[in-house]
Every structure is written in C-alpha cells, then in structure tokens.
Amino acid sequence: MTEVRFYQLKKHPLERVLPKLLEKVVSSGARAVIMAGSQERIAALNSVLWIYDPGAFLAHGSAEDGYDSDQPVWLTTSPENPNGASVLVLTDGASHDGMDSFEKCLEIFDGNDERTLTQARERWKIYEQAGYPLTYYKQTAQGEWQIRE
C-alpha cells in the first residue's frame, strides 16, 4: 500500500522546499511525478527547478518539453505517470486516481492558509480510514522538519 507523507509548510514556501525533497527522491534512484493545480503553477515550478541552486542540476520536464519517459521528475496537472515514477507529489490540493500505483505520496500544503490546512486534514482522515500508512511532517520556526505525533 502507498505510504502517504504530509508536509505542512510553515516557514518556507513550496518553491523552496520542493527542490530539496526532489533531490532526495532522485538521489535514491527513484522518479517523481509532481501534480499541481494549474499550468501557471507548473510553469513556475519548472522555472524554480532550473534556478533554485546554481551548483545543482535536477533534470525534469513537462508536456511542453516532451521526452516524458526519460524525465526523472515530471510536472503535470493531469493524473498520469508517464515516467514510471514511484513517488507522487501532490500540491495545490491536487489528487491522483492512480495513487495506489506509487510507492510514496507526498502531500505538500501551506499550513499558514486555514482553508488549505482544513483540506489537508480532510484528506488525512480519508487516507486513515482507507488504511494507508501515514506520516505527518511539520516545519518548525527554523524551517526544519519535525514528525508530528
């Protein structure tokens, strides 16, 4: 069963957190699909992944780039897995009907937005009732991750 991890952003935004999480995914030999809420968000994340660290290179692409099966990180608004990813990253409240085909699902949300926080809590309950293994990470004031019990 897919392992679901919630990441509650408090100090740093998605644009700062996502590249570091993806570096860990790719360095482990895994691939990722990132689902976002709009094409504008995909374009913004694409830009961030090119410039977040001048000393790093994180190969990625989207439908605009092609070569989907070759991309270690795929950005999309559609519930797809064209690169054979084992890690699904959901942002902007996105959902993926084929979540069970992934080993891990990372739900990343803005903990400073009450509406987004409420939606994440609702998704947590749904996953919990379905029996998914769950872990909840919350950013500290220093930007570190702390497992929430």
State the pTM of this model: 0.95
β-pair partners for 32:
73, 87
Would you write out the chain's pLDDT as a tens digit for each of its 149 residues? 999 999 999 999 999 999 999 999 999 999 999 999 999 999 999 999 999 999 999 999 998 888 889 999 999 999 999 999 999 999 999 999 899 999 999 999 999 999 999 999 999 999 999 999 999 999 998 889 999 86
Residue 149 has a pLDDT of 64
**Which residue segments constitute the domains of the chain, with CATH numbers given?**
3-97+113-147 (3.40.50.10110)
Residue 139 has a pLDDT of 93
Using an 8 Å Cβ cutoff, are 124 and 6 in contact? yes
Structure tokens at 80: 């797809």
Sheet order of strands, 145-147 included? 61-62, 73-76, 32-35, 87-90, 104-110, 3-9, 134-139, 145-147
